[in-house]
Copies of this chain bind each other. A is one copy, B any other.
Amino acid sequence: MALVIRPLEQRDFQNGFLEILASLAEVRLTPEEAQRIHQARVLAGVVTVVAEAEGRVVGTGTLLIERKFIHGGGVVGHIEDVAVGSDQHGKGVGSELVRHLTDLARQAGCYKVILNCRDAVMPFYIKLGYRRHDNGMRYDCVEKG
């Protein structure tokens, strides 16, 4: 399977991107709404990539770059929302996405890249050079129904 990792484009909102994301959480966006959100994210310096195979989006991931005061004004990469289509698991799509996002972070001068994951996914990230560093804590602003 020829796999290409490239930046998200407008046409992807009608080519599988929103369906892939829905494996993470509900999306509820029209392609037009998604395009407006994409523009806001680009302005904020957020990079969204997709994995494309045979003309179809089969995975996605996001790199958010945060400028710090510490580390001499250094930058940190946050990897967010890595998702792969359920029919594509085990083909290395997720690994390619994370390697690509980690490379983008390094090219942007990040001194570290961080991400959060559940216990079951830790071995996947450890194989890619990540190590467990601390705990992800969460506060829900909206009570779950």
Chain A residues with a Cβ under 8 A of chain B: 18, 21-22, 24-29, 33-34, 37-38, 40-41, 44-46, 64, 66-73, 78, 80-81, 102, 105-106, 110-119, 122, 125, 128-142
Q: How far is the CB of A18 from chain B (nearest CB, A)?
A: 7
Residues of A contacting B: mostly: mixed
How many protomers of this protein does the assembly include?
2
The 6 closest A-B pairs by CB, nearest first: A133-B138, A134-B136, A25-B70, A28-B72, A130-B137, A113-B139
Pick from A27, A112, A134 the residue with the most CB of B within 10 Å: A134
A66 contacts B45, CB within 8 Å? no
A141 contacts B116, CB within 8 Å? no
List 19 interface pairs A-B (beta carbons < 8 Å), by A numbering.
A21-B69, A21-B70, A22-B70, A26-B70, A27-B70, A28-B72, A33-B73, A34-B69, A64-B64, A106-B141, A111-B141, A113-B139, A114-B116, A115-B137, A116-B136, A117-B135, A129-B139, A133-B137, A134-B135
